[in-house]
Amino acid sequence: MILHLAAPPLPFYIASGTHQFPPGHRHLNRQHIHVFDLLYVRSGCLYMGEEERRYEVREGQALILLPDRHHFGSRDCTESTLYDWLHFSTSGPWSVSGTGGPESRHSEAVHSETWPQGSWLQEAGEPVHGQPGPGGKVHVHREFEANPFLLRLPQYTSLPQPARMEELLDQLTRLAPEAHLSGTPLRQQILFQEMLGMLQGASEAGRLSPQTQCAELAASFLRGHFSEEITAARLGECLNFHPVYIARCMNKAYGCSPMEYLLRYRIEQSKLLLMQTGYSVARIAEEVGFRSASYFSATFCRLEGISPRQFRRQFS
């Protein structure tokens, strides 16, 4: 079972603590809890049930109990069991998927991936420049829009770095007496977000196919070297994959070839320079990897619908 949380908004921390069960004790029977409950076992084994599912949460493992489900201890602990609990929630949509199929909660369900690379992979023709669209409606510049993404958290998993997870939980415990101070909630949220990253990392370890990993590796290389001269041959040599295979992987993952991806990313970087600097168009073209200012301007017009100078004038 994978828990999908749409962000923004990010899930938010509520409270946490530590508890120990001696042998012969079990987790209480409860329902109608309106928050997520993250359980992490430091030692021993916690036997938990959620509706019809049963879990044996052992040392270094975590379980996320979903809101408004029937939660209960499925059997007594056979040894002393030390575990942490953490309550969190979200005001955004979330869903779960697994062998039983997708199931959604809160507002609308999250049905597909939204790539965090940016809204510049939108379909062509969508008005995004702050100019009147159909019906005279003015559209917000996509440069100022939040880039949505999905958090994918395994409901039940082993943590690759249990020592770090326990350190974060200990820090949250030490902050509890200061929860009334104005600066504490932000510190708690920062610690919690690192925990979310660890949980997502555990999920992604076995999720990505070789093709997706190749596409993401290529995208990272292109972003890191966008100002340099890049060819399909150089990309293949640097990644140790055949250029045709890289192109196939990127088309499947991003819907475009590596060179088109690079071109669009260069244009995005040029827009930042047009807004934030007084550089000439020719210098900006050179800064983002274009050999020719005229080719840069023509490409900018093709992708953005206006020239670089027209784009800049919108912010002056």
Q: What is the 3-state secondary structure (H, E, C) of 162-216?
A: HHHHHHHHHHHHHHHHHCCCCCHHHHHHHHHHHHHHHHHHHHHCCCCCHHHHHHH
What is the DSSP secondary structure assignment for residue 30, as one 8-state letter? B
> What whole-number distance in Å separates Cα of residue 194 and Cα of residue 168?
8
Q: What is the pLDDT of residue 141?
A: 58
Q: What is the pLDDT of residue 51?
A: 93
Q: Assign a CATH topology to domain 2-98+150-204.
A: Jelly Rolls (2.60.120)
Q: What is the pLDDT of residue 147?
A: 77
Side by side, the strands of the sheet bearing 36-43 are: 12-21, 81-89, 36-43, 61-65, 156-158
* pTM recorded for the entire structure: 0.69
Cβ count within 10 A of residue 23: 11
Report residues of the chain scoring pLDDT below 50: 99-104, 106-140
> What whole-number distance in Å separates Cα of residue 277 and Cα of residue 271?
10
Q: What is the pLDDT of residue 124?
A: 31
Number of H helices, E strands in the chain: 9, 12
Q: Assign a CATH topology to domain 210-313.
A: Arc Repressor Mutant, subunit A (1.10.10)
> What whole-number distance in Å separates Cα of residue 59 and Cα of residue 66?
21
> What whole-number distance in Å separates Cα of residue 316 and Cα of residue 313?
5
Residue type present at position 50: E
45's tokens:
């084994």
Domain residue ranges in the chain: 2-98+150-204, 210-313
Mapped onto helix, strand or coil, the DSSP state of residue 157 is strand
Unique residue bearing structure tokens 């290529």:
218
Strands 2-7 and 71-73: unpaired
Strands 71-73 and 53-58: unpaired
Same CATH topology for 2-98+150-204 and 210-313: the answer is: no
> What whole-number distance in Å separates Cα of residue 197 and Cα of residue 153?
9
**With pLDDT > 70 as the criterion, what percentage of the chain qualifies?**
83
> What whole-number distance in Å separates Cα of residue 17 and Cα of residue 174?
10
> What whole-number distance in Å separates Cα of residue 133 and Cα of residue 283?
32
Per the CB < 8 A criterion, the answer to whether 22 and 170 are in contact is no
Q: What is the pLDDT of residue 206?
A: 57
27's tokens:
């987790």
Q: At what angle do helices 210-224 and 243-254 cross, to 10 degrees?
A: 100
What is the DSSP secondary structure assignment for residue 232, as one 8-state letter? H
Centroid of chain to Cα 77: 36
